[in-house]
Amino acid sequence: MSVADELTRISAAKADIKRAINAKGGTLVNEKINEYAAAIDNLLPEEFGFRVRFIDYDGTILKTMYIADGESANPPENPQHEGMIFQGWNCGLDDIHGHRDIGAIFTTESGACEFDVRMEIPTGLTVTFYPYIESGTLTIDWGNGSSDEISATGKQTVSFTYADYGTYTIKMKISDGGSWYIPDYFCQGSNGNYYLIAARIADIRQMSSYAFQYKYGLRTISMDRNLTSMGEQIFYECRALVAIVFPDSLTSIGRYSMQYCYGLSRIVFSDSITIIPEQICYNCYTLDGVTFPDGITEIQYGAFQYCHSLSYVHFPNTLTTIREYVFRYCYPLRDVRFPDSLTFLGEYAFNECFSIEEITLPDSITSMGGYVFHTCRNLRRINVPSNWISIPNGFCYRCNSLESIEIPENITYIGDEAFYECYRLTEVRFHADIATIRSGSFRYCRAMRDYYCYRTTPPSLTSSNVFNDIPGSCVIWVPKSTDRTVLTAYKTASNWSNYANYMKEMEE
């Protein structure tokens, strides 16, 4: 058996175990279960290559393979579904750099938008749609032999009451040369929001905001290559939705699109998308991972916040910006590798990502918000880029496992609570350029043995609590000088004087 075949087998076994955990516990919200699932992911070593998965529109993994950097992916046989036509894959298959999910795109054989509805009461359930007709005649087949035709333009109201319960496929098709789209609040029903179970979008360019929100029974959605834009909250709280594959025609996705889609486990972005919008997958707590194709430049505010099962991400070399709170509370997220293109990290971006153990920050980062790695309690290693002149507030706040930190010589400023409650830090060296150390920067660093201060004039301590809870055996080392003038200066300096009993001169 080849290495690739063996990794494919292991990957399938891992997926089976995760599904079993889900079935046993409902969802992967328990932290220990999340840690176990993340440990399973580590069975797939990256030295064997980048993982490429081909994913069907319903989330089914069609093929998993491993390739070297820059190689091409070999797709599986074209997937087939009754009444659907395979159009291709939503990402390029050549020159792949990094892990990649690639999704299948379909249109309908009928050329119509199709909506499967399930009637759960014997009689009298009315369905209502609000199509927007720009030109032509829209024909609506209600799936039971009845149909309507609408030629009026603008937003229309169309309703139908079914006499018998069961499942019906509604088809909407515009006449040749005509145009229509799905506007705001497109889909309604008289029996709550439980009746729509599947949608196959074809031959329209736009789906507007709130079109399918609160459709709790909607499980699958396919979108063809005519679609170019999606509005805000379009699948908001579609709790049963299992997967989303965005077509490579799509260039714009609205904010909050999949908020509270609790069952969403797969999302496949296309090459055509450049910005991941604000809170797109907020609280999608069964989503277990995401890869971003080349071309993504920005991930906006809170995009994957509260995705409690998210264990892996892959960033492309085009990414420049990760905004605030993007991966907050993604407890099992473990392997995070930033590209050299990254310039901005927003505050709290990785707050409480408990499973991250190591971070390498590229020198390309020119701006970083506060508390980015707040309470990443298993973070053991992180670097300060060599070109920085300041360390931001809360840089490693409550990173209880951080074992060491090297502060570059050109750092002049250490922000508030930068290393607050870093229990395992044992040594810190303040080089001669450091001018300011802010409040609580090293508070509760209870394992600290040595602080080395190389500046001959004491840096400004903005508060008396900078070194609070300093261990009794800790030593603050200062430069040796004639007549101990430097030592005296430190012992009498504002706020330094609180720690005078810990100070000693360095050996020459």
Distance CA 158, CA 151 (A): 12
Q: Is 413:391 a contact under the CB 8 Å cutoff?
A: yes
**Predicted pLDDT of residue 103:** 98
At residue 312, the 3 state secondary structure works out as strand
**Predicted pLDDT of residue 4:** 53
Digit-by-digit pLDDT tens for the chain (508 residues) are 455 555 555 655 665 565 555 555 544 444 444 445 445 444 444 556 899 999 999 999 999 999 999 999 999 999 999 999 999 999 999 999 889 999 999 999 999 999 999 887 666 788 899 999 999 999 999 999 999 999 999 999 999 988 888 899 999 999 999 999 999 999 875 445 458 999 999 999 999 999 999 999 999 999 999 999 999 999 999 999 999 999 999 999 999 999 999 999 999 999 999 999 999 999 999 999 999 999 999 999 999 999 999 999 999 999 999 999 999 999 999 989 999 999 999 999 999 999 999 999 999 999 999 999 999 999 999 999 999 999 999 999 999 999 999 999 999 999 999 999 999 999 999 999 999 999 999 999 999 999 999 999 999 999 999 999 999 999 999 999 999 999 999 999 999 999 999 999 998 6
Contacts of 30 (CB under 8 A, 6+ apart): none
**Predicted pLDDT of residue 162:** 87
Distance CA 152, CA 4 (A): 57
Q: Give the full edge-to-edge strand order of the sheet including 187-189.
A: 158-162, 125-129, 187-189
**Predicted pLDDT of residue 3:** 52
Q: Which of 415, 335, 401 is nearest to 369 (CA)?
A: 415
Distance CA 125, CA 106 (A): 30
* The residue type at 108: T
> What's the DSSP call for residue 485?
H
At residue 435, the 3 state secondary structure works out as coil
Distance CA 299, CA 480 (A): 50
Q: Is 198:173 a contact under the CB 8 Å cutoff?
A: no
Task: Give the Cα-Cα-Cα angle 484, 490, 495 (nearest 5 degrees).
Answer: 160
